[in-house]
Structure 1
C-alpha cells in the first residue's frame, strides 16, 4: 500500500495506484509521499 499526496492542496490518498485526479481540488499533481 502506497501513500500519495496532492502537491497543490495536500490531499492524501492511500492505495496502489496514483490517482489521476485529486478528488478535492481536481488537479493532477499527485505524487508519492516520501
Structure 2
C-alpha cells in the first residue's frame, strides 16, 4: 500500500520511516500531481 505524507512541514522523513517500518510504502507529497 502506498501512503502519502504531506511534505509541508518538518518530520516528513520520520513519518515515512514509520510507515515503511509497518510494511508500507511512504511517499512525500509536495505537489498535487505527486
Smaller-chain TM-score bracket: under 0.3
Which structure shows the bigger proportion of residues in helix conformation?
Answer: 2
TM-score w.r.t. the length of structure 2 is 0.27
**What TM-score results when the alignment is normalised by the length of structure 1?**
0.27
